[in-house]
Each structure stands twice: as structure tokens, then as C-alpha cells.
Amino acid sequence: MREFTWWRRFHGAMKVPKKYLYKGASEFLQRIEFGEFEFDHLGREYYLEDLIYEEKLAKVLEESPWLQGETLAEKMEYDRKLSNKRKALIMKNHLEKEQKLLWAIADGMTKEFDMPREDVDDIMETFDGTTRELYYHIKSIKLGKHFDPDKQQRFVREQPRHILKPKERKHAQKWIALVKERNWQSFLNWE
């Protein structure tokens, strides 16, 4: 396991290799379609940590029902600290990555459509849709004609998300149950 990503249970998002990009099409659009600029789900993966800790606690209580108070706290101290550290790293990285993604999208749109950054920021602030839909919305505004994203050819398939690392696959059922319980629509499509 890599030292700097020990806290990740899922594989991170990848960038599309340049050799797979079509030369005649917008590189920025292809990167959007691949999912490089999509919502970072680390914030939702955070909830899995609570389930894993609760499961460990229940297992300890089942094996040793006489543990109470301080003795139980001492028994669970290492797991609790590790869980809290993992959750803190998840949220820190989630917030940083989300901010960087928003800046990268705004910068990319600004360069792609030669628009002032303030105009792109204003559009992004009020827009409700996917990053691909945002791309075609801004393109429609810039070129003065409507582009329906559903009728536009996709150049690249979107990368799969939420693939547990091999060592973490034992948590797959908990993750699926969590997704269904919370009704996270974007996840329900991959099942």
C-alpha cells in the first residue's frame, strides 16, 4: 500500500491518457466525458468509515459482552483513532479536491470558449447539471445556438467509479447497502 494513500479504500479517479484522445475533438470535452472533472465522492465514502467502526465495535461487544465504560474504550482506542484519522484525511482531501476541480473547470471553460472568468463563474454558480451539460450550455451561450448534450456524440466512455481496492473488497456489501439506504442516485446506476 502506498504510504500517502493508506487511508483510501477506493481507487482514485484517473486522467485519460493522451494517446486515447481524438485529435480532431476538444481535449477538454473529452476529459470532461471521461469524468476527470466530476463530483469527488470522497465526501460520501466518509460514511463507510462510520459503518466499519460500528461493525468492529459490535463485534467486540459480541465477543466480550462484559466490556463496559473505560475497558471498552481502551479496547477500541486504536480502531477509533485510526477511523477518526482516516475520516479527517478523507474530508480534508475531499474539500481540497472539490475546490481544485471547480477552479480547473472554470479555467478550462475560460480557455475553451475565450470568455471572461467572471462570466464563467457566474454561469457555474447558477447552473444545475453535469459538467458535460455545463460545457454545452456555455458553448450554446458563446456560439448563440442551442447544443443539446443528449444529441451530441460522446468521444470517450466515462471511467468507472467506486472500485474498492482488492484488500477492501470485504466492505462491498456495506457500501452497496449504504448507497441504497441514502438513495445516492449517481451510484445506483453502476450496480
| pLDDT at residue 101, as a whole number | 93
| pTM exceeds cut of 0.85 | no
- pLDDT 10s digits, 57-113: 888 888 777 777 777 778 778 888 888 999 999 999 999 999 999 999 999 999 999
Is residue 65 a contact partner of residue 184, using CB atoms and an 8 Å limit? no
b/e string for 94-127 if b means 16 or more Cβ within 10 A? beeeeeebeeebbebbbebbebeeeebeebbeee
Burial label for 168, CB within 10 Å (0-12, 13-18, 19+), is middle
Partnered with residue 164 across adjacent β-strands are 10
Give the three-state DSSP class for 36: coil
